[in-house]
Amino acid sequence: MKKIVSLFLAISLVFTSLNVKADEGMWLPMFIKRLNIKDMQSKGLKLTAEEIYSVNNSSLKDAIISLGGFCTGEIISDQGLMLTNHHCGYDAIQQFSTVTNNYLRDGFWAMTKSEEKNVPGLTATFLVRMEDVTAEILEALAEQSSKKDKAAKLKSLKAELIKKATEGTHYTAYIKEFFFGNEYYMFINETFEDVRLVGAPPESVGKYGGDTDNWMWPRHTGDFTLFRVYSGEDGKPAKYSAENIPLKPKHHLPVNIKGVKEGDFAMIMGYPGSTDRYLSSFGVQQLIDKKAPTVVEVRDVKLATMKAQMDKKEKVDIMYSSKYAQTANYWKYYQGQGEQLKTNKVVDRKTQLERQFEEWYSKSPEREAKYQNALKDIRDYYDLTDKYIIGNTYVMEAGVRGPNYVLYAWRSNRILDAISKTRKKMNDLISDASEEEKAKLIAERDKTVNNLIAALENSTKSHFKNYDKTTEKNLVANLFDLYYNKVDKEQHPAFFADVKKANFKRYARKMFWCSPFVKEKRMNKLISKLKAGKEIDESEDKAVKSANDFLAMYFSSAAKFAEAEEKMEEGYRLFIEGIRLMQPEKSFYPNANSTQRLTYGQVLSYGVSDKVKAMVRSKDGLDTYYTTMEGLIEKEIPGDQEFSLPARLKELYEKKDYGQYADADGKLRVNFLTNNDITGGNSGSPVIDGNGYLIGTAFDGNWEAMSGDISFENKVQRTISVDIRYTLFIIDKYAGASHLIDEMTVIK
């Protein structure tokens, strides 16, 4: 469950023919007391709303972290120890891995705090409080007539409200829209910048099953990583320093090793990235027919190209492991989503809701006047973009996010252009200035230019850190060739016309023969020339020209459909507003948008489909809500990259040396199921029992419900989690890191 998407659609799709269940819903913690607490308590929650979300007192929300903005983590000790998923820590593990110290392959465990590894750029953000700013914003926007004026007013008002909320503090804040602009909320946060890697199992545990098992149940994956959050001596956020101390959190989650049983209350708190539950039937159809298969098609080629070199060299395998995993996850996600949208008849269900909406507004002249164009404007947008969606998807998948040089070359050339313009502008001013003014202007010029050069130097170092020339050259040749042959010529980037006989292998060879943007040594020479004051013009470089063409296509597409998109957005806003009025008895929750949410339900198995039964390699877990070590061993294929097991783990299994983490029957449980409502961004989220204790870590969803981001599947949607007892078993018995267990508050 690694999907990270930036969509801003709103509320859940609720059909009158279905009962709303407690397992559906990504609820804002601030509203738990008003909307959910009684229902939660009736299902087994022993806590009060104040113990879940409180501004003035310690509460569960204070243990929940937005990890880097892409995953969730939870504090599990009073020394700032943080638990998340292995795939959430993958980049961190990878950046410390080398051929001689391959932590991805072998795992990593800091036996003392001094051995913990600082992860540059990784942050841990805690929610301090939420504030409803809807009234102020809607009142101000109502006074503006044009979209441009509204956008300008919204920007200035957000800045004003954020300044007021954070002035005199070290907090940060942001404001997001909900229900497609019908509501606005501000989130005040505290962000810590010193986050250190503490422990991670080997891939053969943390990524067991690989792409084959991804999105599948049964699972047998120890998908976890440990970090530690550090603060300054005053307890406030601080840049990395050896003098920093482990964070003393406002709250940490006790760890329950008593185990769970089917029907037990379970809630998940975290930062789900995005759902699209109110996508119209027109949008779903376009996704099924065009976007999903196109993404899969391009990523097929990208994955095969990377894998070819990764299999040849361990160094390349380490460098591209994270890129490959991210690409593969979304590749399989779109396969499953497209299939399940059809299987679960989501278009039909969306159409049914839209017809109900039309019937509702047609019964009132006032409602008809207000809402009659909402669905029309939405439909018109998809009709207009239908012809271009495949080409636009290729622009992103094979171009902008295709070969790694594209964004780097585009951004680097913009820096070169900025340096050139700054020098010219300042030199003109200097030539006409007095001697006293000249000194000031020269200093200003040099400072600005040096900052730009430093930015280019830093981005160059980062870009080429995990970079293999052969892999990158093959990505250029293979992805561009696919684009050329699959997309109408009218939607080709301009530079395609200059490629003789559409021979992209030769084009790639020439680019890599001469362009500085595809070779680190050349870029370092270019940077040295800049530092020496030389003018650099790379506007005719092949890498720059192709990158500029891809980005020009991306931006022109946005401009081309701007008017239709504006109408579509207003159509969705009215549609959502109308649906909420049409169903006043319903409690609506906003769509996921990377803000803290809570979902609740129960530990629960389900009937695995016959198709999935034929796809999985172990029967362990097919008829239960949990899997065991027996099933993990059953899946093993010695020497297979996805299903190999470390000798130490097999030794512990043979001895049944599970310690205090075994179940009552002597078996060790690995993963379990709940019917909680999660999505990408929830990766690493804590699964919490009715007492507020940690029982597991969420890491994936199931194949049959891969349409769930667009339409929640009441009967089959499940969350797959690592049983906390398996996590502790790996830490304690496998890794011998019992000092970490000693930090935790363990409930036996």
Residues 524-552 pLDDT 10s? 999 999 999 999 999 999 999 999 999 99
Which 3 state secondary structure label does DSSP give 492?
A: coil
Place of tokens 């969606």: 389
Per-residue pLDDT, 618: 86
Per mean pLDDT, which range of 224-238, 384-398, 432-446, 487-501 is the poorest?
432-446
Tokens of 577: 């507003």
Query: Among 229, 157, 219, 226, which residue's Cα sits nearest to residue 195?
Result: 229
Query: CA–CA distance from 10 to each of 278, 345, 354, 509, 577 (Å)?
Result: 6, 21, 15, 47, 10
Catalytic residue, from 86, 87, 252, 492: name it: 87
With 0-12 CB in 10 A as exposed, 13-18 as middle and 19+ as buried, what is 180? Answer: buried
Q: Which CATH architecture has domain 1-123+193-274+594-748?
A: Beta Barrel (2.40)
Q: Tell me, letter by letter, the H, E, C secondary structure of 543-559.
A: HHHHHHHHHHHHHHHHH
Reply yes or no on whether 289 is catalytic: no
Tell me the DSSP string of 353-372.
HHHHHHHHHHT-HHHHHHHT
Contacts by residues 446-451 (CB-CB < 8 Å, ≥ 24 positions apart): 448/422, 449/419, 449/422, 449/423, 449/530
Q: What is the pLDDT of residue 614?
A: 85
Task: For the chain, count helices (H), then strands (E).
Answer: 28, 20
Angle at 681 between CA 101 and CA 567, to 5 degrees: 135
Instruction: Look up residue 595 and give its two tokens.
Output: 């803000």
Whether 224 and 725 have beta carbons less than 8 Å apart is answered as no
Decide the pairing of beta strands 183-192 and 124-132: antiparallel
Q: Using one digit for the tens of pLDDT, what is the confidence trace for 596-618?
A: 999 999 999 999 888 888 888 88
Average pLDDT over residues 54-75: 97
Contacts of 176 (CB under 8 A, 6+ apart): 8, 184, 185, 187, 593, 595
Distance of alpha carbon 15 from alpha carbon 711, whole angstroms = 10
| Side-chain half-sphere exposure of 491, counting CA atoms within 13 A | 19
Statement: residue 620 has pLDDT above 70: yes
CA dist list (Å): 4 to 333, 420, 423, 681: 11, 36, 40, 6
Predicted confidence at residue 721, as pLDDT, reads 98
Least confident of 423-437, 462-476, 714-728: 423-437
* Token duo for residue 312: 């040849």
- Confidence label for 94 from pLDDT (cuts 50, 70 and 90): very high
Q: With bands split at pLDDT 50, 70 and 90, how would you rate the model's confidence at 148?
A: confident
- Tell me the C-alpha distance between 574 and 243, whole Å: 54
As a whole number of angstroms, the longest Cα–Cα distance in the chain is: 88
Residue 248 in tokens: 């003393």
Q: In this structure, which amino acid lies at residue 641?
A: Q
Is position 223 annotated as part of the catalytic site? yes
Q: How confident is the model at residue 467 (pLDDT cuts 50, 70, 90)?
A: very high
Predicted confidence band of residue 518 (pLDDT cuts 50, 70, 90): very high
Q: What is the model's pLDDT at position 158?
A: 97
- Residue 153's CB: how many other CB atoms inside 10 A? 15
Catalytic residue among 683, 685, 707, 711: 683
**DSSP three-state, residue 410:** helix
First to last CA, the chain: 30
Contact call for residues 199 and 112 (beta carbons, < 8 A): no
CB atoms inside a 10 Å sphere around CB 639:
7
Residues 42-70, mean pLDDT to the nearest whole number? 97
Q: Which residue has the tokens 């990270």?
A: 4
For 420, the token pair is 């050139």
pLDDT at position 486: 96
Residue 9 pLDDT = 29
- Secondary structure E strands in 61-140: 64-67, 71-75, 81-84, 108-109, 117-118, 124-132
Question: What is the residue-wise DSSP string for 504-531?
Answer: HHHHHHHHHHH-GGG-HHHHHHHHHHHH
Q: Give yes or no: 683 in active site.
A: yes
**Rounded CA gap, 319 and 127, in Å?**
34
pLDDT 10s digits, 665-692: 999 999 999 999 999 999 999 999 999 9
The answer to whether the beta carbons of residues 229 and 700 sit under 8 Å apart is no
Checking if the pLDDT of 12 tops 50, the result is no
**Inter-residue contact 184 to 123 (CB < 8 Å):** no
Q: Residue 644: pLDDT above 90? A: yes
- The model's confidence at residue 16, banded by pLDDT at 50, 70 and 90, is very low
Amino acid at the residue 348: D
- Give the chain's radius of gyration (CA, Å): 27
- Token representation of residue 126: 């805690």
Higher pLDDT: 558 or 190? It is 190
C-alpha dist (Å) from residue 161 to 129, 155, 158, 174:
14, 10, 5, 9
In this structure, the strands spanning 71-75 and 255-256 are unpaired
Categorize the per-residue pLDDT at 145 as very low, low, confident or very high, splitting at 50, 70 and 90: confident
Average pLDDT over residues 442-450: 95
Give the residue among 61, 308, 82 at the shortest CA–CA distance from 197.
Answer: 82
Specify the pLDDT at position 18.
31
Give the lowest-confidence range in 145-154, 365-374, 397-406: 145-154
Answer whether residue 15 shows pLDDT above 50.
no
> Residue 89: pLDDT above 70?
yes
Phi, psi angle pair for 599, to nearest 5°: -130, 145
pLDDT in tens, 238-286: 999 999 999 999 999 999 999 999 999 999 999 999 999 999 999 999 9
Helix (H) or strand (E) holding 598: strand 597-602
> Residue 636 corresponds to which tokens in the numbers above?
């093993």
The Cα 748–Cα 745 span in angstroms is 10
Asked whether the CA dihedral 490, 492, 498, 500 is positive or negative, the reply is negative
Q: Which of 194, 223, 689, 700 is catalytic?
A: 223
Per residue in 272-322, pLDDT (tens digit) is 999 999 999 999 999 999 999 999 999 999 999 999 999 999 999 999 999
Is the model's pLDDT at 11 over the cut of 70?
A: no
Beta strands 255-256 and 746-747, pairing class: parallel
